[in-house]
Every structure is written in C-alpha cells, then in structure tokens.
C-alpha cells in the first residue's frame, strides 16, 4: 500500500450520528464478542447510526454503527456502508 492510498490521509467519510445503510451482509469475523464466527451481525440494507469512529491498522477508518433493530454496535469499513439520504 502506497502512502497516497491511505484512507487516514483524508477526513472520515461518515460523521457521528449520521444515518447509514449496509451495502452488504456483515458477518462476525471473530471480533464481535458473544456471537459465533460467521453469525450475521447486519443484513444488506439495514439502517444504523454512526456512534464512533476508530482506525484499523493505521490505514483506514472503522465506523462503529448502532443497528437499532438488532441492538448491535458493529465495526464497519467505508466500503460496507452508504449514506441514507433524509427526505425533507
């Protein structure tokens, strides 16, 4: 990975309290406590809110997303999320 490819060189794409939707099925990779590896944490299209922003391997942002229907807070990468447009 080249230095100009680092996601952390730019500000986060999503902000705290922003409403987001999953772009794909998210399963437990072993980092979510209390659930089996491979367990579904969020289905494609589920809505949640960004409640925290951290980093992964000093290269990318990880967004802590609270999925209200499941009650889970799941760490998601930018490519796994999309903004939900609010209708005025």
If the chain, 88 residues long, is cut into consecutive pieces of 10 residues, what is the mean pLDDT of each piece? 68 95 94 91 95 91 93 93 82
Domain membership of residue 60 (yes or no) is yes
Domain membership of residue 4 (yes or no) is no
Domain range for 48 is 18-83
Domain membership of residue 8 (yes or no) is no
- What pTM value is reported for the model? 0.86
What is d(CA 59, CA 27) in angstroms, rounded to the nearest whole number?
A: 22
């Amino acid at each position: 990975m080249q230095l100009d490819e680092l996601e952390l060189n730019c500000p986060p794409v999503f902000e705290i309290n922003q409403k987001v939707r999953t772009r794909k099925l998210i399963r437990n990779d072993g980092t979510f406590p209390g659930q089996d590896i491979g367990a579904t944490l969020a289905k494609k299209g589920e809505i949640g809110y960004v409640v925290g922003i951290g980093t992964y391997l000093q290269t990318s942002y990880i967004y802590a997303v609270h999925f209200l229907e499941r009650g889970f807070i799941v760490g998601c990468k930018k490519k796994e999320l999309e903004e939900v447009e609010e209708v005025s």
